[in-house]
């Protein structure tokens, strides 16, 4: 698990530079004025940052609009490759998607948030707001809860203190007491379920990948609530997800 930032020794200029990058990534492309308005700082200051990032080839400028350069593709690939299982799980995700017909994700925890690193889509898979590299809170979906259930209580409390338990839908768990009860249930049955807690009218089933005490991520199968219900939701999908996770663990241990 990566170390948490301490918050000391922060370099404000560097912080502003990355904030500009995040704004441009969020907008897909942005003009100097748009970035300055979002940052609420002088256009001349933003211009200096943008010029520097252009010179370093981290940004590209087209018709007055700035967007991310392809250097980030290399950085992202390198960052992903050092994550355990990031490439190893791909064939398992694809097979599970074929078996279930639904959307399958591999996600990990970093800095108290879920990061989506792998994806496969079955014949009936639905499109959601998730994307590879995207982040979300852990408490509001099956994969995040599966991970939280395997972390020490002190670590879970640290995550709650840092990110809170924001309400995403009417079904989101927002009470610390209720969350810990849910995590206990998840540990007892070895899988987690999501009852439209992150996205209305959807459900998901997930199990964490734990090898030698290290929580390496979770595999999650999600789909529309009208398909993920009854015996399929409570027995069939949990069995398929847990079987996939167990196979990943065995092949990783003995590879």
Instruction: Provide the strand spans (E) within the chain.
Output: 59-62, 65-68, 103-110, 113-121, 135-136, 192-195, 202-211, 214-224
Q: Which residue has the higher pLDDT, 202 or 1?
A: 202
Instruction: Provide the strand spans (E) within 125-201.
Output: 135-136, 192-195
Span 142-170, pLDDT tens digits: 999 999 999 999 999 999 999 999 999 99
Count the neighbouring beta carbons within 10 Å of the beta carbon of residue 92. Answer: 20
Give the gyration radius of the chain's Cα atoms.
20
Contact residues for 188 (Cβ-Cβ < 8 A; gap 6+)? none
When the pLDDT of each residue in the chain is averaged and rounded to a whole number, the result is 92
Six token digits for residue 11: 């370099």
Span 92-144, pLDDT tens digits: 999 999 999 999 999 999 999 999 999 999 999 887 777 888 899 999 999 99
Count the neighbouring beta carbons within 10 Å of the beta carbon of residue 147. Answer: 28
Alpha-carbon distance 135 to 220, whole Å? 15
């Amino acid at each position: 698990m990566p170390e948490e930032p301490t918050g000391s020794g922060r370099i404000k200029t560097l912080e502003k530079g990355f904030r500009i990058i995040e704004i441009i990534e969020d907008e897909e492309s942005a003009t100097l004025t748009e970035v300055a308005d979002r940052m609420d700082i002088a256009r001349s200051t933003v211009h200096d940052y943008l010029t520097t990032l252009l010179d370093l080839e981290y940004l590209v400028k087209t018709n007055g609009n700035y967007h991310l350069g392809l250097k980030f593709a290399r950085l992202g690939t390198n960052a992903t490759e050092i994550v355990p299982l990031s490439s190893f799980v791909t064939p398992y995700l694809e097979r599970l998607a074929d078996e279930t017909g639904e959307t399958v994700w591999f996600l990990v925890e970093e800095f108290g948030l879920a990061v989506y690193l792998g994806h496969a889509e079955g014949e009936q898979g639905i499109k959601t707001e998730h994307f590879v590299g995207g982040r979300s809170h852990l408490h509001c979906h099956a994969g995040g809860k599966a991970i939280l259930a395997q972390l020490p209580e002190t670590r879970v409390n640290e995550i709650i203190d840092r990110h809170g338990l924001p309400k995403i839908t009417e079904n989101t768990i927002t009470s610390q007491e209720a969350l810990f009860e849910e995590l206990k249930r998840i540990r007892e049955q070895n899988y987690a379920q999501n009852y439209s807690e992150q996205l209305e009218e959807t459900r998901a089933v997930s199990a964490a990948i734990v090898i030698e005490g290290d929580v390496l991520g979770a595999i999650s199968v999600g789909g529309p609530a009208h398909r993920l219900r009854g015996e399929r939701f409570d027995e069939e999908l949990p069995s398929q997800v847990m079987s996939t996770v167990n196979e990943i663990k065995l092949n990783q241990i003995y590879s």
